[in-house]
Amino acid sequence: MLRFEHVSKRYPDAGEVLTDISFHLARGEMAFLTGRSGAGKSTLLKLIAMMEQCSRGNVLLEGKNITRVGDRQIPYLRRNLGLIFQDYKLLNDRTVFDNVALPLIVAGFGHQEVSRRVRAALDKVGLLGKERKHPLSLSGGEQQRVGIARAIVNKPKLILADEPTGNLDPDLSAEVMHMFEQFVQVGVTVLVATHDIELITRLGHRVLHLDKGRLQAGSE
Amino acid sequence: MRRHRQHKQTVRKRTHDRVKERFEAYLLNHAHGLFSSLGRLSRTPFTTAMTVVVLAIAIALAGCFYILVANVQQLTGSLQSSNQMSLFLKDQINEASGQKLAEQLMQNADIDSVKFISKKQAMDEFKTHSGFGEALNTLENNPLPNVIQVLPKNVLDSRESLDKLMAEFKQISEVDFVQVDMQWVDRLQAIMRIAGRGVTVVGILLGFAVTFITGNTIRLELHNRRDEVFISKLVGATHAFIQRPFLYAGFWLGFIAGFAAWLIITIMLLILESPVENLSSLYDSSFELLYFSFSEFILLLMMASGLAVLGSWAVLHYQLRLIKPE
């Protein structure tokens, strides 16, 4: 599903952030990406989301090399990904429905299909009935669930979450993780960057540990 | 076999439906862009008004210049440039000998027609049309000379033959001086040709202004909506999708400014109309002020919105690449 082959990323002013990273995530696998701040977690996710290009090596998504794709192709490839952020990245001037519908509108789905899928996604995250609310009138946990609904509405094959529980209390965090485990059961691959060690050990999934840009554990 | 065909048909129908639905969604997206951008502009009335006013003034400047030149061209276009000459007779020549001279000139093979205008006729005409009627009555004697108007034959179009004829007239002892009446029309028309070219140059300059002003407004709008652009990019929006509402916003700015410019020009012409009519009646002319025709109005709107879209597109084309996810 997702394969890194000797990937390095160097920034002109920050030097090498990732060094010789190789790993493979299978379809329907869930993994945690851990490491201290600055260990390169976010950079690794950005490479997958095509927000950055690696300096060396290859990143393969479903067998397709996404390291050297043209700007024109990137939007279409991104539609196979679901991205979740620590700060939710919602549009606060739009309703919950419009936020969740965005990936579908962008992909040109028809009105009925959009409506049906948005409801299904909101149902999955337990927010059905809040379509007309605005994000800022919701709690942090609810906002994150809107973000999750937006990430899954397009039925992506790979979900990337960058510190999804960073702003949530332990109960809500456990709830979010439980949701991810449900997605995995229907064949979605999930990669979660986090430093919530307690949560990781309790759930017992595969852990990719980054230290100073090198993969210390979990490459197998 | 039949089942297989049926299956094929349903699949085809389903694909057809899906394509149809996608196309409808595409149109809907355009309609949404068209109206939501207008709504967005109306939610920041001050900024929008500022831009529209600046654009409208730029467009109206070009439009005013254009319509003024068109009006003067209409005026001079109706004037036939001709070689008609006036022979002003010396003071001591009376009406009868003037008449006689006119008849003699008529014999000249180079002359097409001759018209004698006596002092008195000239004075009467001047009184009725100049508006100085009363004041002229106070004059003790008529200062106007007797005049013979001569229209040379058309064959005499070259300057030399005209000059020769003029020299001939100057030889006549009764003639004080000779003047080619309509030479100024030639000169005016030459000036108007320059003015016409001026309109083109000024139009191009102000067109650039419209393009850049709209481009800058759209750039600011894009900057205000960075987050939205950024998030849209992350969920897989193409540049075409992201720039659509901005292009429509540019279109509206140009369209509204074009309309406002037309209003400005029309109001200006309305203000000018009655004094112009006054002036034209003094010249005994049936001059009618030229307004923008319907097709010119449509062209103005199309050019204004077209240039605005062009400016927006140029800015978006360049700036959208720069908004990269952090």
Statement to judge: residues B165 and B218 lie in one domain? no
Q: Is residue B153 part of a domain?
A: yes
> Using CB atoms, which residue from A71, A90, A110 is nearest to B22?
A110
Q: Above 90 in pLDDT, residue B163?
A: no
* Cβ pair A110:B29 closer than 8 A: no
Please list the helix, strand and coil fractions of chain B in percent, rounded to the nearest 5, in that order.
75, 5, 20
Mean per-residue pLDDT, A133-147: 93
Q: Is residue A102 part of a domain?
A: yes
Checking DSSP bridges between strand B111-117 and strand A214-217, what pairing results, if any? unpaired
Report whether B60 contacts B66 (CB < 8 A). no
Taking only the tens place, the pLDDT of each residue in B274-286 is: 888 888 887 766 7
Question: What pLDDT, on the 0 to 100 scale, is given for residue B82?
Answer: 66
Taking CB atoms and an 8 Å cutoff, what residues of chain B touch A46?
A: 325
User: What number is the ipTM of this complex?
Assistant: 0.90
* Cβ pair A106:B235 closer than 8 A: yes
Residue B252, CA distances (Å) to B73, B211, B218, B248, B249 in order: 33, 13, 11, 6, 5
* Cβ pair B24:A71 closer than 8 A: no
Q: How far apart are CA A99 and CA B267, in angstroms?
A: 47
* Cβ pair A83:B22 closer than 8 A: no
Which residues is A192 bridged to in the sheet?
A32, A161
Name the domain boundary from B181, B209, B239: B181
Q: Above 80 in pLDDT, residue B182?
A: no
Q: Compute the nearest-CA separation of B240 from chain A (Å).
A: 10
Which residues is A189 bridged to in the sheet?
A158
DSSP letter for each residue of B141-186 = S--PPPEEEEEE-TTTTSHHHHHHHHHHHHHSTTEEEEEETTHHHH
Query: Which residues span the domain enclosing B102?
Result: 85-181
Instruction: Name residues 11-30 of chain A within 8 A of B (Cβ).
Output: none
Statement to judge: residues B111 and B156 lie in one domain? yes
Q: Is residue B4 part of a domain?
A: no
| Arithmetic mean of pLDDT over chain B | 85
Question: What pLDDT, on the 0 to 100 scale, is given for residue B5?
Answer: 72
Q: How far apart are CA B259 and CA B253, in angstroms?
A: 10
Q: Compute the nearest-CA separation of A84 from chain B (Å).
A: 10
- CB proximity A158 to B under 8 Å: no
Q: Helix A96-106 vs helix B226-234: angle between axes, to the nearest 10 degrees?
A: 60
Q: Is residue B147 part of a domain?
A: yes
* Cβ pair B325:A79 closer than 8 A: no
Question: What pLDDT, on the 0 to 100 scale, is given for residue B154?
Answer: 65
What's the structural domain count of chain B?
A: 2
Taking only the tens place, the pLDDT of each residue in A111-137 is: 889 999 999 999 999 999 999 999 999
Q: Is residue B58 part of a domain?
A: yes
Name the domain boundary from B181, B199, B217: B181
Question: What pLDDT, on the 0 to 100 scale, is given for residue B305?
Answer: 96
Statement to judge: residues B74 and B193 lie in one domain? yes
Q: Above 70 in pLDDT, residue B42?
A: yes
Query: What's the token pair of residue B188?
Result: 């005016």
Question: What pLDDT, on the 0 to 100 scale, is given for residue B83?
Answer: 72
Q: Above 80 in pLDDT, residue A165?
A: yes
Q: Is residue B140 part of a domain?
A: yes
Residue of A nearest to B25 (CA): A110
Taking CB atoms and an 8 Å cutoff, what residues of chain B touch A160?
A: none
Statement to judge: residues B211 and B166 lie in one domain? no
Statement to judge: residues B59 and B109 lie in one domain? no
- CB proximity B17 to A under 8 Å: no
Query: Which residues span the domain enclosing A119?
Result: 91-155
Statement to judge: residues B106 and B218 lie in one domain? no
Q: Best residue in B28, B233, B234 to probe A by mutation, most A CBs within 10 Å?
A: B234
Between B28-37, B82-91, B180-189, B249-258, the lowest mean confidence (pLDDT) is in B180-189
- Work out the pLDDT band at B20, boundaries 50, 70, 90: confident
Taking only the tens place, the pLDDT of each residue in B113-150 is: 888 888 888 888 777 776 677 777 777 778 888 888 88
Which H/E stretch holds residue B268?
A: helix B239-282
Mean per-residue pLDDT, A14-29: 91
Name the domain boundary from B126, B154, B181: B181
Q: Is residue B22 part of a domain?
A: no
Q: Above 90 in pLDDT, residue B307?
A: yes
Q: Is residue A164 part of a domain?
A: no
- CB proximity A88 to B under 8 Å: no
Higher pLDDT pick, B170 / B252? B252
Mean per-residue pLDDT, A75-103: 93
Q: Above 60 in pLDDT, residue A57?
A: yes
Question: What pLDDT, on the 0 to 100 scale, is given for residue B132?
Answer: 72
Could you tell me how many CB contacts below 8 A there are between chain A and chain B?
68
- CB proximity A49 to B under 8 Å: yes
Question: What pLDDT, on the 0 to 100 scale, is given for residue B326?
Answer: 52
Q: Above 60 in pLDDT, residue B36?
A: yes
Query: What's the token pair of residue B255?
Result: 């369209």
Question: What pLDDT, on the 0 to 100 scale, is given for residue B157?
Answer: 60
* Cβ pair B324:A111 closer than 8 A: no
Q: Best residue in A88, A100, A102 to probe B by mutation, most B CBs within 10 Å?
A: A102
Q: Compute the nearest-CA separation of B318 from chain A (Å).
A: 14
> Using CB atoms, which residue from A51, A78, A108 is nearest to B235?
A78
* Cβ pair B25:A108 closer than 8 A: yes
Maximum C-alpha span of chain A: 49
Q: Is residue A97 part of a domain?
A: yes
Please list the helix, strand and coil fractions of chain A in percent, rounded to the nearest 5, in that order.
35, 25, 40
| CATH number of the domain encompassing residue B158 | 3.30.70.3040
Statement to judge: residues B247 and B285 lie in one domain? yes
Question: What pLDDT, on the 0 to 100 scale, is given for residue B3?
Answer: 67
Checking DSSP bridges between strand A214-217 and strand B147-152, what pairing results, if any? unpaired
Q: How many angstroms from the chain centroid is the CA of residue B99?
A: 47
Taking CB atoms and an 8 Å cutoff, what residues of chain B touch A77?
A: 236
B/e letters for B233-250, b = 16+ CB within 10 Å, e = fewer, are bbbbbbbebbbbbbbbbb
Statement to judge: residues B247 and B262 lie in one domain? yes
- CB proximity B25 to A under 8 Å: yes
Statement to judge: residues B202 and B308 lie in one domain? yes
Mean per-residue pLDDT, B193-221: 94
Higher pLDDT pick, B127 / B47? B47
Q: Is residue B324 part of a domain?
A: no
Statement to judge: residues B195 and B226 lie in one domain? yes
- CB proximity B186 to A under 8 Å: no
Q: Compute the nearest-CA separation of B51 from chain A (Å).
A: 24
Q: Compute the nearest-CA separation of A75 from chain B (Å).
A: 4
Q: Above 90 in pLDDT, residue A7?
A: yes
- CB proximity B224 to A under 8 Å: no
- CB proximity A97 to B under 8 Å: no
- Work out the pLDDT band at B234, boundaries 50, 70, 90: very high
Q: Is residue B285 part of a domain?
A: yes
Question: What pLDDT, on the 0 to 100 scale, is given for residue B325?
Answer: 60
Q: How far apart are CA A189 and CA A160, in angstroms?
A: 9
Statement to judge: residues B222 and B258 lie in one domain? yes
Query: What's the token pair of residue B60?
Result: 């109206």
What's the structural domain count of chain A?
A: 1
Statement to judge: residues B202 and B302 lie in one domain? yes
| Arithmetic mean of pLDDT over chain A | 90
Q: Compute the nearest-CA separation of A108 from chain B (Å).
A: 6
Q: Is residue A138 part of a domain?
A: yes
Taking only the tens place, the pLDDT of each residue in A182-210 is: 999 999 999 999 888 888 888 888 999 99
Mean per-residue pLDDT, B300-315: 96
Q: Best residue in B227, B235, B243 to probe A by mutation, most A CBs within 10 Å?
A: B235
